[in-house]
Structure 1
Amino acid sequence: MSKDNTSITLQVYFNGSPHTITVNADDNVSAVCTAVSPFVGVNPDALCVLSETWVGALSHSSPLKCFRIHNNTRLYCFGSNGVAAVMRAEVNETTDGLDEKGLLKEEVVASGVENIGNTCFFGAALQCLFRCTVLRTVLLYMLPARSLEHCDLFVRALTSSFHILDKKQTTVNPKELLTLFGTLHPSLIRPQLGGYTMQDAQETLSQILNDLSLALPVSSLGVMNTAGHLAKDYLELRNAMLSSLENGRAENSVVDCLFNMKIEYHTDEIGSRPDSTDSKYFLSINLTDKCYSLLDQLDKEMGEEEITINGEQHKRISRFSFLPPYLFIVINRFLWEEQAQRRLKINRRFTFPFTIDLYRYCSAGLQASLDSLATEPEGKPASTIGSADYSLVSVIAHHGLSADSGHYITFSRIKDNLWAKLNDANVTEVTADDIEALAGGSPTFVAYVLLYEYTAIGL
């Protein structure tokens, strides 16, 4: 087998500082460590290498091509001569063998959350939040040593749970976390014989976000490693963007920076100023008679909607004026049935895409900002039209007749097209077809909460 002598140029970040190195495309990862060592003053063997093309630490003895590393791939190194390169809880080292093509085999690397008696709603919310990479980095590596002003014990317990989820094929026992969350919200966490009273997973997720919003202002964060440096820079940028908006606060929380979306509303026609605005963490989508897909319903709700004002018919036009890095979409499958005195479920088919571009639903000002960021591959002219592309990373699904009964599980994208079904403590690999089947239309698990990630996050 002939050796590929093609040289490739890589950007390697160490403690937030970039270093440009050149290696052979057929080299092992150890060649990267050797090349970057003189720049950072750390022994090559003490360096841990991460790549934007792979989940987990790169084995020094494996070829670069196994991790899909090519020209201009961005790598991240950390480590020191005095301590181990990386703790087990920081990254999941990949030790899989090579497949018949010489590439590392991919497998589901995920951990479950025990169900300790009707607590699937809590585990599903936890698993969905864990898929938010920047939030995960904040909790694992950036919490201040001093006590937080709000919800300190709960946030520390949540961090401990995230450390366990970050390990390879382990299980979280949520007892302590549930107890602390119940202290904060006794109406949500109600012990009963043999477990707890079933609750709505989306309401639980919403309350966790509210708690974290109070507990984690961006200014409170520390930095422990390269991932923390990158996340801190990103959050400070998002904080500045939020602060620059009309009526923006000087100090924003991590949750605001990651999940807050702003929508403006116009009546009859789009004017220079909106009639009203709204700020929220969840975009609620109604199931109407004539819409059977998320895209159709977005066209309806973010287009011209008939409304009545003082007895007169008008059109309301909605537009995003600010989009978050992580977009929660709630499919409103539950309605209140007065006679039954409970929320019943709409189980009909409602499809959703793996990727979605929200550009056409954005305000003129936001579109102009996106246009300024539009780029094309090297050698081609820049596009004049931007995009607001999001990719699906997690789905909370429900099986049963009511939001307060049945069973919740989470489906999460682990890597590229590799998906996992996270059913309490059980973790199994599933296909894209299994995710599409969550559209509903049959008495099985159906999508309830969708989590999309902005594709240009770059972290």
Structure 2
Amino acid sequence: MPDLGYDVKESRVFHWRLHDWKKFKRKVISPEFDCGGNKWRIFLLPFDYSGVRLNWSISVYLDCAGPEDEKEDWHACTQLMLVISNPQDPTTYTVGHARHRFIPEECTWGFSCFSELRELFQPQPGRNRPIIEGGSTVVSAYVRVLEDPTGVTWHTFPSYDSKEQTGYVGLKNQVATGCMNSIVQSLFHTHYFRKAVYQIPTEDGVSIRSVSLALQRMFYQLQTSDKPVGTNELTKSFGRTSLGSFLRHDVQRFNRVLQDELESKMKGTRAEDTIAKLFIGEMKTLIECVNVSYESTKIQRFNDIQLNVKGIKTLCDSFRDYVAVKILDGENKYQAKGFGLQDARKRITFQSLPPVLHLQLKRYGYDIQRDAVVKINDRFEFPFEIDLDEFLDKTADRSKPWKYKLHSVLVHSGELTGGHSGKFDDGDPGKFIDGHYFVFIKPDRNTRWLKFDDDRVTPVTDREVLEESYGGELSDAIVPQTQGNQIGATKESTNAYMLVYIREIAIDEVLVPLTEEDTPPHLGRRLSEERIQKIEARKREREGQYLTAKVITDETFSLHQGFDLAVLDERNGPLSDLPTFRVLKKETYTVFKSRVGQHFGYPESQIRLWMLVHRQNRAVRPDTSIPENDPSLTVKVIRNDIALHRGHLRLYLEILPSKENLSDNVGKIMVLLKHFDTTRQSLFGIGKVHVPRAGKVSDLIPIINERMGWAPETPVKLYEEVSSEMIQLMKPEYSFHQSGSIDGDIVCFQLGISDKEAHDLESRGLCSNPPQFYKFLRNRAVGLSAKPGSPHEDQNVVSGDWNT
């Protein structure tokens, strides 16, 4: 078994010899054995060996009875291998290995499809003897119980309380705000900065859309709330459109805009010059001409440093690359005043570095072959402590050491998409989407490292901080070792894109604890008043004056991986976090539509709202667009007469191209598109398209190729998501009318792949087509909703209580 980097409490190997296999019944249980203070046993479900059941699979599980004095919080973090071997030749065997956190609710773990029964009774290619020979075999359990240094190793977090466990709370992700959440948490835990933000006057005459007030409120809630804090106020204070442009690029741009906004509000207050004091350093650029006697020296301020990652192994090497002499010649000659273009040498050194040093790692680059900006996933190591003295100019003040300690590591998991082709502009790094953001933070000298993953905060080990951030090759310490499907981004694409270091001599000042006097009293009063208002508003809503409208947008659809356009029924899993409006029932549709347009930043003429309905097969689809020609139409009438739904309104927001109007879509149907990516094993929406009802299904292929940026002749397979259990291959030669297509249908597409490519994917336990992936999603949903103790027969790795 691989070394996962944890201390081992105890290891044990247990061999269980079995005879007369054909006489076994539904379940066979091994004798107990001890390991790590717990009692263990093997459960075997052998099935009968007969001609009718020749293709049946056997199931093998490891069961933990726990310690004799079992407590409520008992758990055992365990690596396990279950092996069935020939008793005369142990080199003839089959194996499954996994890792699991055994708890009272999940005390049985193993493999429901360990092996086909006939493969055990017959010699297989590469081995001369069967595994079960003469009715005898050996079932072995290799068990390694590990220490749990954080208390949450491999935790599934069904009822985890971040505040109780760590003292901190997370931030809600309101769709594509993960990178903002990461930098906000880092700044919040820079105590000197938080104190300065509180010193900005906001008590009187400040709009709720003020960035400084919104950040004060968020900071106050982070330090006082027991639950995850919302980010809507901060995003609204920027304006959704402008904030979106920041978040679609990188955290560096957002951070700079935020600092500029706050710096202007700090002028003339006690917090004046805080931004410069904390984050601003100076660098010196020296240019010397080679052939003439001319040199130029320029001192510049900076608030972050962009460091190369490509082809560089460590942070120190990247700093050395940054200050290395660059030769300016050829097309890059230097324009020397009075001498014209000249060959020159350029060198950068640092006059001073700020107490809080923000390092942007350039995890993007231009790929000539692909003519696109791509993410750089090279392994790049950085230390917990670093001495930057060697990179300072010879004239810099060295009266105190320039040693820094790591404070925050901002991490992105996923790939870089949305980058442009053509000449690469170093100032436009493209955008990290289709991925996930989180941040590791060490709040002070004495607190251990914590992982802030949106709304969840968990303790982590030092090794996790580094291994989940370096990137590069897959690590046994990170990748689960199981026989099951591995769905999701690989750890190769999980890496740090920003580091925050604090100068060692400044740590006590930068991370000084805040006192009660440091927090503006009006924030508590204001938030308390708003809570009372919300309680009263909910009361009015219960009295029937209001209803709730949830809106699905192309943005929320693109981030949804599952059936339909979103999860709208909690029986199918956690509800999707959708933009929600509270509306008076008597409000006219014209007024409501105007509010929706203002919220999303579109003119009323460019949007159309569709009602979502339940079809007979339980699918939820856009069905009817709301009529635009009746100024007296109220929201209540829409809900009661059009939606035929007595609960809240569920709507789909269609954005019309600026040159398109409603009459252009007469005789057409609206089809929504989903892309199944076999490489990433992901399924995401890519918006909608209007097609003539008489048009052919194959007409979608050139539209998809253009939208995805694929070559015009790229082969594409099309499937209709009829329901969660019916994913049908569409016939390209059929018309949409012949296919029975109507408004709101979902078409799932994938790149055409060869039979060999499909076989290779399936041999690795991955899905090669949408029906397989939808089945995986369906089984996963069943697993999430199943009661403890029920075996999930369609899953490879399952848990359950086989004693019942």
Interval containing the TM-score (normalised by the shorter chain): 0.5 to 0.7
**How big is the shift at 1:335?**
2.3
Q: Give the secondary-structure state (helix, strand or coil) at the position aligned to 1:172.
A: coil
Q: Which moved more, 1:309-318 or 1:298-307?
A: 309-318
Matched, 1:404 2:459: no
Q: Give the secondary-structure state (helix, strand or coil) at the position aligned to 2:498.
A: strand
Q: Give the secondary-structure state (helix, strand or coil) at the position aligned to 1:202.
A: helix
Aligned to 2:210: 153
Q: Structure 2 vs 1, CA of residues 132 and 342 (structure 1 numbering), >3 Å: closer, same or farther?
A: farther
Q: Structure 2 vs 1, CA of residues 154 and 422 (structure 1 numbering), >3 Å: closer, same or farther?
A: same
**How big is the shift at 1:394?**
0.6
Equivalent residue in structure 1 for 2:405, among 391, 412, 415: 391
Cα distance in 2 between the residues matched to 1:284 and 1:343: 17
Q: Structure 2 vs 1, CA of residues 304 and 337 (structure 1 numbering), >3 Å: closer, same or farther?
A: closer
Question: How high is the TM-score relative to the length of structure 2?
Answer: 0.34
**How big is the shift at 1:347?**
0.4
Contact 2:448–2:459 (8 Å) recurs in 1: yes
Q: Structure 2 vs 1, CA of residues 276 and 163 (structure 1 numbering), >3 Å: closer, same or farther?
A: same
Equivalent residue in structure 2 for 1:318, among 321, 335, 348: 348
Q: Aligned AA for 2:244?
A: I
Cα distance in 1 between the residues matched to 2:310 and 2:502: 26
Count of matched residue pairs? 297
Pairing of 1:220-369 with structure 2 (within 5 A) = 220-221=269-270, 253-268=273-288, 275-289=297-311, 291-308=312-329, 309-310=333-334, 313-336=343-366, 343-367=373-397
Matched, 1:214 2:264: yes
Cα shift readout 1:151-174 (whole Å, capped 9, x = no counterpart): 981101101111122236532100
Cα distance in 2 between the residues matched to 1:341 and 1:329: 27
Cα distance in 2 between the residues matched to 1:119 and 1:203: 14
Cα distance in 2 between the residues matched to 1:313 and 1:150: 55
Aligned to 1:188: 243
Contact 1:110–1:167 (8 Å) recurs in 2: no
Contact 1:213–1:255 (8 Å) recurs in 2: yes
Q: Give the secondary-structure state (helix, strand or coil) at the position aligned to 2:348.
A: strand
Cα shift readout 1:159-197 (whole Å, capped 9, x = no counterpart): 1111122236532100111111126xx33337xxxxx98
Cα shift readout 1:276-314 (whole Å, capped 9, x = no counterpart): 22222110001243x211101112222333333347654
Contact 1:392–1:453 (8 Å) recurs in 2: yes
Equivalent residue in structure 2 for 1:128, among 182, 186, 205: 186
Cα shift readout 1:18-60 (whole Å, capped 9, x = no counterpart): xxxxxxxxxxxxxxxxxxxxxxxxxxxxxxxxxxxxxxxxxxx
Cα distance in 1 between the residues matched to 2:369 and 2:280: 36
Matched, 1:178 2:198: no
Which of the pair has more CA radius of gyration? 2
Q: Structure 2 vs 1, CA of residues 118 and 146 (structure 1 numbering), >3 Å: closer, same or farther?
A: closer
Q: Choose between structure 1 and 2 for higher RCO, CA contacts under 8 A separated by at least 6 residues.
A: 1
**Unaligned runs of at least 5 residues, structure 2:** 1-163, 335-340, 417-430, 474-489, 510-804
Q: Aligned AA for 1:215?
A: K
**How big is the shift at 1:410?**
1.0
Q: Which moved more, 1:143-152 or 1:154-163?
A: 143-152
Q: Give the secondary-structure state (helix, strand or coil) at the position aligned to 1:258.
A: helix
Q: Structure 2 vs 1, CA of residues 361 and 112 (structure 1 numbering), >3 Å: closer, same or farther?
A: same
Cα distance in 1 between the residues matched to 2:179 and 2:358: 16
Contact 2:235–2:243 (8 Å) recurs in 1: no
Cα distance in 2 between the residues matched to 1:395 and 1:189: 23
Q: Give the secondary-structure state (helix, strand or coil) at the position aligned to 1:267.
A: strand
Q: Aligned AA for 1:109?
A: G
Q: Structure 2 vs 1, CA of residues 342 and 203 (structure 1 numbering), >3 Å: closer, same or farther?
A: farther
Cα shift readout 1:338-378 (whole Å, capped 9, x = no counterpart): 887864200010111111122221123323xx32xxxxxxx
Aligned to 2:464: 434
**How big is the shift at 1:263?**
0.4
Contact 2:209–2:238 (8 Å) recurs in 1: no
Q: Aligned AA for 1:216?
A: M
Q: Give the secondary-structure state (helix, strand or coil) at the position aligned to 2:215.
A: helix
Q: Give the secondary-structure state (helix, strand or coil) at the position aligned to 2:243.
A: coil
Cα distance in 1 between the residues matched to 2:263 and 2:371: 33
Cα shift readout 1:61-84 (whole Å, capped 9, x = no counterpart): xxxxxxxxxxxxxxxxxxxxxxxx
Matched, 1:110 2:163: no
Contact 2:206–2:213 (8 Å) recurs in 1: no
**How big is the shift at 1:146?**
6.4
Q: Give the secondary-structure state (helix, strand or coil) at the position aligned to 1:365.
A: coil
Cα distance in 1 between the residues matched to 2:247 and 2:504: 37
Cα shift readout 1:99-154 (whole Å, capped 9, x = no counterpart): xxxxxxx96322200011222122112112112221111123x2235669999811
Q: Aligned AA for 1:454?
A: R
Aligned to 1:64: none
**How big is the shift at 1:198?**
4.9
Q: Give the secondary-structure state (helix, strand or coil) at the position aligned to 2:449.
A: strand
Q: Structure 2 vs 1, CA of residues 301 and 169 (structure 1 numbering), >3 Å: closer, same or farther?
A: same
Aligned to 2:94: none
Contact 1:111–1:167 (8 Å) recurs in 2: no
Q: Give the secondary-structure state (helix, strand or coil) at the position aligned to 2:306.
A: strand
Contact 2:402–2:503 (8 Å) recurs in 1: yes
Aligned to 2:774: none
Q: Give the secondary-structure state (helix, strand or coil) at the position aligned to 1:114.
A: coil
Aligned to 2:502: 453
Q: Structure 2 vs 1, CA of residues 149 and 452 (structure 1 numbering), >3 Å: closer, same or farther?
A: farther
Q: Give the secondary-structure state (helix, strand or coil) at the position aligned to 2:256.
A: helix
Contact 1:321–1:365 (8 Å) recurs in 2: yes
Q: Structure 2 vs 1, CA of residues 280 and 149 (structure 1 numbering), >3 Å: closer, same or farther?
A: farther
Question: How high is the TM-score relative to the length of structure 1?
Answer: 0.59
Cα distance in 1 between the residues matched to 2:207 and 2:358: 24
**Unaligned runs of at least 5 residues, structure 1:** 1-105, 191-195, 222-231, 233-251, 372-385
Contact 1:112–1:172 (8 Å) recurs in 2: yes
Cα distance in 1 between the residues matched to 2:386 and 2:165: 26
Q: Give the secondary-structure state (helix, strand or coil) at the position aligned to 1:319.
A: strand
Cα distance in 2 between the residues matched to 1:327 and 1:150: 32
Q: Aligned AA for 1:297?
A: S
Aligned to 1:419: 449
Q: Aligned AA for 2:464?
A: D
Provide runs of 4+ in structure 1 moved above 4 Å.
Answer: 145-152, 196-199, 310-313, 336-342
Cα distance in 2 between the residues matched to 1:151 and 1:302: 44
